[in-house]
Chains A and B, each alone.
Chain A
Amino acid sequence: MIINHPILGPRDAQEFVYLGDASLINRPDGLTASPAEMHDYVYLRDNPAGLHRELWYHEQGDRSWLVVTRNTVTHEITKVEMARDVARSMGRSK
């Protein structure tokens, strides 16, 4: 698979480390979240067949985190964003 890095251009997926569903960005506040919320965040996944937004880390590159939209049935990648931008657009890191 080739991941089209927003800054570096097309890169081989082997340069990246995979983390999983991009919803992991939405970590609840550990000081206020209920145990049930933390359980759901840590352990449960939607795990869809089809379009999946997921986190890839460019370990052998610029060490940026990306949000890659990929089809889990065909492996086709349709969108690549900087995870930083995605997180900020959701109001995190303020």
Chain B
Amino acid sequence: MRYSGFRVIAEALTGHKGWKPVWRDPTPQPDYDYIIVGGGGHGLATAYYLAKEFKQARIAVLEKGYLGGGNVGRNTTIIRSNYLLDGNEPFYEFSLKLWEGLEQDFNYNAMVSQRGIMNLIHTDAQRDAFTRRGNGMILHGADAVLLSRDEVKAIYPFLNFDNARFPIKGALAQKRGGTVRHDAVAWGYARGADLRGVDLIQNCEVTGMRIENGKIRGVETSRGFIGAKKVGVAVAGSSSRVMSHAGMRLPMESHVLQAFVSEGLKPLIDGVMTFGAGHFYVSQSDKGGLVFGGDIDGYNSYAQRGNLPVIEDVAEGGMALMPMIGRARLLRTWGGIMDMSMDGSPIIDKTGVEGLYFNGGWCYGGFKATPASGWCFAHLLATDQPHKTATAYRFDRFAKGLMIDEKGQGATPNLH
């Protein structure tokens, strides 16, 4: 069933009796050609592109809970491609281009809104670094523009421009960046995959992997053994837990990142704004709530909730940037679990087990990567070759000294 304006009118005239469940609830088959572990944004996108772009069949997505119940429903919905390094920028620009055509591609309203993102500048050194990054983006075909203090002031006159510690001196802006309705991304991909015959199997936890002679045979699940020729794992946040079934230790730690939303306010911030120096970023949802966040809590966690010190830290960042935010009440806070990799960049690669593939380590930048991550992982699964924009996301980059150290801080598991 295609969605369209005519369809909405037709249904309105006939009492909305024609709408059907958006995807099936199939019983698992004994075996598949492809099993994708993880029914979040990346797993569903992988299944979708595997079926649609790479013309593969007999695909299942196994999800421990319900579709889209993990990080794709817990993030702050920002899309952008403002990276510096060669290993990253082409991939994220590929992702942003996929975002731009996504709704037409999967015929679902994901509310992709290119409202623009700006990263604030406070010092000359930061302006130099952002100028370099902006040039890097432009060289890779993305858009970037350096804004002066007055240009920022024309857009957001209420910011605290003369903060004694972090006076605002300008911003690096990407006008094609923006926000997306995150749940709809999962739903759109799920529906698109289901329509192409992918079995979306919920409440099905992978509890083990059957590996014989170095080759994957299938996965043990809470709903019994399911055989597969190829298994792709896309469970960022729980990557270490799932890959331990294959005896692997990963170059990552799981950390909790909190997010926040205020009560609904009148239109205030029409784009996305990051105040990196103050560990704070903010946008405004279409319902009016300010959606904001800051840094990870900073200790290993699988709890999906954080602690009060980070809430205080984020609130302080918000107050420093836009003091009137102190009048708004906080409506909700929540936490999501991140794969924090050792260089701040993801992994999309084969493993030492034939037929077992891995996608994870997204740190707290996984949402914007969803379409390209799915596409590149599907490419790897279908062709056994990395997609040209994802060749740097290898496991062995740590052993070979080829880290993608976007922040230039060396090997620690607390980078973006």
Q: Which residues of A contact B (CB under 8 A)?
A: 1, 13-14, 18, 20-21, 35-36, 39-40, 42-49, 52, 54, 70, 72-75
Contact = CB atoms under 8 A, between A and B. Distances in A.
B398 A43 contact: yes
A67 to B, nearest CB: 14
B236 to A, nearest CB: 13
Nearest to B240: A47
A39 B399 contact: yes
Nearest to B396: A39
A45 B309 contact: no
Nearest to A45: B253
Nearest to B300: A72
A31 to B, nearest CB: 19
A49 B302 contact: yes
B251 A45 contact: yes
Contacts of A36: 399
B250 A18 contact: no
Nearest to A18: B299
A39 B302 CA distance: 25
A48 B252 CA distance: 11
Contacts of B240: 45-48
B309 A14 contact: yes
Interface size class of B (residues with CB under 8 A): 20 to 34
Contact of A1 (B244, B249, B307, B399): B307
A4 to B, nearest CB: 16
Nearest to A12: B309
Nearest to A54: B300
Contacts of A35: 399
Contacts of B250: 44-45, 47
Contacts of A39: 398-399
Given A20-B300, A52-B300, 15 more contacts: A20-B253, A35-B399, A36-B399, A39-B398, A42-B398, A43-B342, A43-B399, A45-B250, A45-B252, A45-B253, A47-B253, A48-B240, A54-B300, A73-B302, A73-B303
Contacts of A49: 238, 241, 254, 302
B267 interface: no
A35 B399 CA distance: 8
Contacts of A21: 253, 300
Nearest to B313: A14
Query: Per DSSP, are chain A's interface residues mostly helix, strand or loop, or mixed?
Result: mixed
Contact of A72 (B244, B301, B307, B411): B301
B307 A42 contact: no
Contacts of A40: 249
Given A39-B398, A72-B254, A75-B307, A46 B299 contact: no
A18 to B, nearest CB: 5
A42 B341 CA distance: 12
B244 to A, nearest CB: 8
Contacts of A75: 301, 303, 307
Contacts of A54: 299-300
14 contacts: A13-B299, A13-B307, A14-B309, A20-B253, A36-B399, A39-B398, A43-B398, A43-B399, A47-B250, A48-B240, A49-B302, A72-B254, A72-B302, A73-B303
B298 interface: yes
Among B302, B342, B411, chain A packs the most CB atoms within 10 A around the CB of B302
A54 to B, nearest CB: 7
Contacts of A70: 299
Contact of B251 (A43, A48, A72, A73): A43
A70 to B, nearest CB: 8
A39 B249 CA distance: 12
Nearest to B304: A73
A55 B267 CA distance: 45
Contacts of A20: 253, 300, 413
Contact of B249 (A42, A46, A72, A73): A46
Interface string B138-151: 00000000000000
Contacts of A46: 240, 244, 249
B411 A42 contact: yes
A91 to B, nearest CB: 24
B249 to A, nearest CB: 4
Contacts of A48: 240-241
Given A39-B399, A47-B250, A18 B307 contact: no
